[in-house]
Structure 1
């Protein structure tokens, strides 16, 4: 124990003397460059892919956000539960109980109902495809049913959801 104490004391003294050590401007520049490179590597790291499953947009959501009028409603597979509502200037998708709003990309291709093929949001982008000529849902309803596909992408442009089903467009 008596031998251990002087060694610890000597180590502490050497550590303290190193604190006051002056480094050259070149060495400081090298250390700063290493620190900047480490921060850039950390910021460039892409997190793991998290898949998203849009939830049905229900009547209370439609009423609360006034989602009536000319629009297209996308439902996956054979489901009639709307997962995406697109309009001329915006689109909506419900994720984790929150209705997310997307802005239309005015330079993207125009789809039926004055909607667009691309919408951008804070955390995701939404790409839409409509195939075929469509068929009236019901005589005199003013709504046309198409085959449609929805692609939801994260901010790194990775697809986190794809759904193919129907797109009902009209008032």
Structure 2
């Protein structure tokens, strides 16, 4: 009888070990599915476009601020003002809200602007505090999950 009890206990322990391992495998698979769902689809790269004079007029983009271009004297692809930021993608100019907690750039602009689908960071390296100047800059555009979808070095022209 004792021997029967020991064999039954061993079988029970062995079966528990198998169930635990299966439960662990199910838990790992469930965790992997949750991570994949949280990450969502891969980030989709975008290509900001140059803004035209008509874009500035149509969207009432004026005042003291900084515009980012890929080269000094080039056309703006991003504009940072104290009260809003602008970026043109797929032919549409989108308006962004300044992040008041982000670093301040020249003329009361901010380094970070947030929108519905995207946001952007404008890192400007001012050197002399002049009212109207051009500075080396970096534009980083990110999606709603804070994944970089565009990044470029260029020039920020700041003035009124």
Alignment of 1:154 onto 2:143 = yes
Q: Is the 8 A contact 2:106 2:129 kept in 1?
A: no
Q: What is the CA deviation profile of residues 95-118 of structure 1, one whole-angstrom value per residue up to 9, with x for unaligned ones?
A: 001111110011111100210011
Evaluate the alpha carbon distance shift between residue 110 and residue 132 of structure 1 in structure 2; reply closer, same or farther with a 3 A threshold.
closer
Aligned to 1:130: 124
Q: Is the 8 A contact 1:145 1:168 kept in 2?
A: yes
Q: How many residues align?
A: 131
Alignment RMSD, CA only?
2.3
Comparing both structures, which one devotes a greater share of its residues to strand? 1
| Aligned ranges 1:70-81 → 2 under 5 Å | 70-77=64-71, 80-81=74-75
Evaluate the alpha carbon distance shift between residue 135 and residue 110 of structure 1 in structure 2; reply closer, same or farther with a 3 A threshold.
closer
Regions of 4+ moved over 2 Å: 39-45
- For structure 1, the residue ranges without an aligned partner over 5 or more in a row are 1-36, 137-141
Instruction: Give TM-score scaled by structure 2 length.
Output: 0.73
| Aligned ranges 1:57-96 → 2 under 5 Å | 57-77=51-71, 80-96=74-90
Deviation, 1:78, is 5.1
Q: Is the 8 A contact 2:124 2:135 kept in 1?
A: yes
Q: What is the CA deviation profile of residues 107-152 of structure 1, one whole-angstrom value per residue up to 9, with x for unaligned ones?
A: 111100210011100011111111141597xxxxx52111111100
Deviation, 1:52, is 0.7
Give secondary structure in 1 for the equivalent of 2:125: strand
